[in-house]
Amino acid sequence: MLTYELRDVSLTLGRKRIFSGLDLKLEGRVIGLLGPNGAGKTSLMRLLATLLRPTRGQILLHGRDIVREPAYARTRIGYVPQHFRPPGDLTGRQVLQYLGALRDVVEAERIDRCLVQTGLSRVADQAAGAYSGGTLRRLALAQALLSDPQVLLMDEPTAGLDPEEQDRFQTLVRGLAERGAQVLISTHLLAEVSQLADTAVVLHEGRILFAGPVPDLLARTGAQRLQDAYLRLLRDPALQVVGARP
């Protein structure tokens, strides 16, 4: 399942070069985006969500250039940002109603479904300013589901979630994938990727060190666990398949 393709993508923010000549194909149902802090994971997610525009290159979604046609992507993706801060005086339901109206999603049934999916029904009419960090993460996920996206981009989605909430999240992701959506998860939690992802992308200093099925990463590194495979890949240049020019 190929959705996104990046061709010769470069990105410079201010004086900092984030990517240079990045080539990447995103294939799979659930993709884990891995890498240390500063690797470029959030910048990549924001490019895919059309929140950043590349300095050079093409980003294709279903074969359409979303650098030229960002509206095509925005009607087909849901994005869970790393930080989500809605107006604190609005209730969770009102936040979804407001964001839904901006996306032409006004059906109360759809909003209720998103609240149920994310376990927010009981607190939906409480002020978002009183929500815990974990509850805000669930609200961020709920707003990403409003348009029933074909692709879901999630930047550190389980940060602040307790074990029960993490289990609910994993069940939700599996359900979305089974219904045909593609889910891209940026995370530091390798155990989460091991449980959910069929594909891994390892990013380091703006370069793709590996992109492919998780079993291929284990085989390449000779590791039994994803955590060991990831660490070996970062430490041994001979194992790396670099997908961007330095």
Q: Are residues 66 and 175 in the same domain?
A: yes
Q: Can you give the pTM of this predicted structure?
A: 0.91
CATH classification at residue 172: 3.40.50.300
3-state helix, strand, coil in the chain (%, to 5): 40, 25, 35
Q: Which residue, chain included where needed, has tokens 């995103």?
A: 26
Report the distance separating Cα 48 and Cα 5, nearest Å.
Answer: 10
Q: Are residues 110 and 181 in the same domain?
A: no
Q: Are residues 245 and 155 in the same domain?
A: yes
Q: Which of 205, 243, 212, 206 is closest to 54 using CA atoms?
A: 206
pLDDT at 242: 57
Residue ending a domain, among 121, 148, 175, is 148
For the stretch 203-218, pLDDT in tens is 999 999 999 999 999 9
Identify the segments of the chain with pLDDT beneath 50.
244-246
Q: Are residues 7 and 63 in the same domain?
A: yes
Q: Are residues 160 and 216 in the same domain?
A: yes
Q: Are residues 58 and 170 in the same domain?
A: yes
Q: Are residues 174 and 191 in the same domain?
A: yes
Q: Which helix (H) or strand (E) holds 201?
A: strand 199-204
Q: Are residues 55 and 157 in the same domain?
A: yes
Q: Phi and psi for 189 in degrees, rounded to 5? A: -90, 95
Q: Which of 35, 33, 27 is closest to 45 using CA atoms?
A: 33
Q: Are residues 52 and 139 in the same domain?
A: no
Q: Are residues 59 and 89 in the same domain?
A: no
Number of C-beta neighbours around residue 108 at 10 A:
11
Give the number of domains in the chain: 2
Residue ending a domain, among 148, 175, 194, is 148
pLDDT at 246: 38
3-class state of residue 80 by DSSP: strand
Which domain does 222 fall in, by range? 1-76+151-246
Q: Are residues 24 and 63 in the same domain?
A: yes
Q: Which helix (H) or strand (E) holds 83?
A: none
Q: Are residues 11 and 29 in the same domain?
A: yes
Report the distance separating Cα 27 and Cα 177, nearest Å.
Answer: 13
